[in-house]
Amino acid sequence: MILVIKNGTVITMNEKRKEKYEKLDIVITDDTITSVEENYQGPYDKIIDASNKIVLPGLINCHTHLGMSIFRATNDNLTLQDWLHKKIWPIESLMTDEDIYYTTLLSCLEMIKTGTTTSNDMYFGINGSLKAIKETKIRSVFSRFLIGNMDPSSLEKIEEFRNLVIENQGNDLLTFTVTPHSLYTCNQEYLEKCQEIASEFNLPIHIHYCENLSEVEEIKKNYHKLPAEVLQELGYFKQKLILAHGTFISEEEQELLSKFDVSIVTNPVSNLNLGCGIADLVSYQKNGINVCLGTDGQGSGNNLNMFYHMSLVDQLQKAKYQDPTVMQSYDVLKMATINGAKALNLDHKIGSIEEGKKADLVILDLNSTEIYPTIDLINQVVHNVESNNVDTTIINGQILMKNHQFSFEIDESELVKNIDRITSHLMSEKK
């Protein structure tokens, strides 16, 4: 099956091309981009006319918890630790796999509608979430989050993860990371167990890291070491490492991290909502650390719309440095595409529009008066795109949404009813 996207203005994110965007046709054969060229005249089975539209690589959300959609905006006036202990964990302990199927399904629809084609997810209730991910055919870097202190239930979680990986080999849309929750919610022995399983399957480790200052102090107190030195002692640098948040990383630690295959996923909205702080991304990048972008769950991050989160990243760095020259919109777009692909070990497959890569693409229609006109395209994409500008979303060559309509069967009103039922049930149980 040959699909051609014709006449679009294509932001390829391919560093080998001279121009940041060009009028190009994209030829997709089954799941793969087979040609990116001017005025394609070859055969095709299906064509999408992208005249006056923008085509860019699907966005990559490098840190989220898809099952958390029912906690959307529940963090008002709470610190990270209070929010987790008082609002989140008591309710999560009541959630069933079926609940998590629906909450994840809601997140998957949100991602498709807002142009995200890959998520790096960390949650529990994996039978439910995996069902939703498979049904919506989104690309997923998936996991079962691991938390505990070597007690039987925490060890069971590792076994559950092991079975998950073994049972889901060979799915082109699914890869895995090992996800210990954080250095402060797991003891040393358990964190070492997590490293062992990562090494056994040669998987990246994805962990919450230095999200706020009290977490950093707690780690220093427990280990009498800097957090980055703790990672080293645990053997985590032997794996590809994805550090979520990394809001507070000293210059000395940045130097250490830069020597290894480490990526930092910044989650600006979550960090602002929970009053954590502003990560010094300019410094991380100067030190050669790969920086990518995440939304966190909707509980702290409000939504999974990466366009909204992109805009903030850019503005926060400029405000932090009181200097508008420290970051460019293109750097931010890299964080949401190719840098994310590198972090997830998927840059050979996704993150840019080029021959040989999988066809994960988004088509934007910027012809709406509230954001008209588009003079500086990259700046416009990073700062002004709303979900209603996302016209088409394609993952692995499959059109999941076209002209704002899902191309798979989904009863959204039924889903909303289920979410309402789950929410009212869980909230009343908690009381």
The footprint of Zn ion (CB under 5 A) covers: 296
For residues 270 and 285, which CB has a smaller minimum distance to Zn ion in the complex?
270
For the CB of residue 63, give the shortest distance to Zn ion in the complex, in Å.
Answer: 6
Question: Pick from 127, 186, 125: which is nearest to 155 by CA?
Answer: 186
Let me know: does 34 contact 355? Beta carbons within 8 Å: yes
Q: CA-to-CA distance for 236 and 262, rounded, in angstroms?
A: 10
For residues 56 and 122, which CB has a smaller minimum distance to Zn ion in the complex?
122
For the CB of residue 103, give the shortest distance to Zn ion in the complex, in Å.
Answer: 15
The counts of H helices and E strands in the chain are 17, 19
For the CB of residue 88, give the shortest distance to Zn ion in the complex, in Å.
Answer: 10
For the CB of residue 429, give the shortest distance to Zn ion in the complex, in Å.
Answer: 24
Beta carbons within 8 Å of 194's beta carbon, 6+ residues apart: 146, 158, 178, 180, 186, 205
| Ranges of H-type helices in 224-369 | 227-233, 251-258, 268-273, 281-286, 298-301, 306-321, 329-335, 338-343
For residues 99 and 296, which CB has a smaller minimum distance to Zn ion in the complex?
296
State the residue number with the nearest CB to Zn ion. Answer: 296
For the CB of residue 84, give the shortest distance to Zn ion in the complex, in Å.
Answer: 10
* Length of the chain in terms of residues written: 431
For the CB of residue 181, give the shortest distance to Zn ion in the complex, in Å.
Answer: 9
Tokens 């979550």 appear where? 270
For residues 298 and 311, which CB has a smaller minimum distance to Zn ion in the complex?
298
For residues 92 and 296, which CB has a smaller minimum distance to Zn ion in the complex?
296
For the CB of residue 296, give the shortest distance to Zn ion in the complex, in Å.
Answer: 5
Structure tokens belonging to residue 196: 């062992």
Q: CA-to-CA distance for 315 and 383, rounded, in angstroms?
A: 9
Helix, strand, coil shares, percent, the chain, to 5: 45, 25, 35
For the CB of residue 413, give the shortest distance to Zn ion in the complex, in Å.
Answer: 30
For residues 271 and 352, which CB has a smaller minimum distance to Zn ion in the complex?
271
Q: CA-to-CA distance for 154 and 188, rounded, in angstroms?
A: 13
For residues 90 and 288, which CB has a smaller minimum distance to Zn ion in the complex?
90
For residues 12 and 182, which CB has a smaller minimum distance to Zn ion in the complex?
182
What does each C-alpha distance from 114 to 11, 61, 307, 379, 387 come to in angstroms? 17, 11, 8, 18, 5
